[in-house]
Amino acid sequence: MESFDLGEKSINMDGFRADNYYDFADLPIMYCKADTATLSIGGAEVLFSVYSEDNGKYAKELSVRLSKIVLAAESYLLVNCQ
Residues 16-60 pLDDT 10s: 777 888 877 787 777 777 789 998 877 888 888 888 888 888 899
Give the pLDDT confidence score for residue 37 in this predicted structure: 92
Give the pLDDT confidence score for residue 4 in this predicted structure: 67
Mean pLDDT of 52-81: 86
Kindly report the pTM of this predicted structure. 0.53
Give the pLDDT confidence score for residue 79 in this predicted structure: 83
Residue ranges of the domains in the chain?
1-31, 33-82
CA 18 – CA 73 distance, rounded (Å): 30
Do the beta carbons of residue 51 and residue 59 sit within 8 Å? no
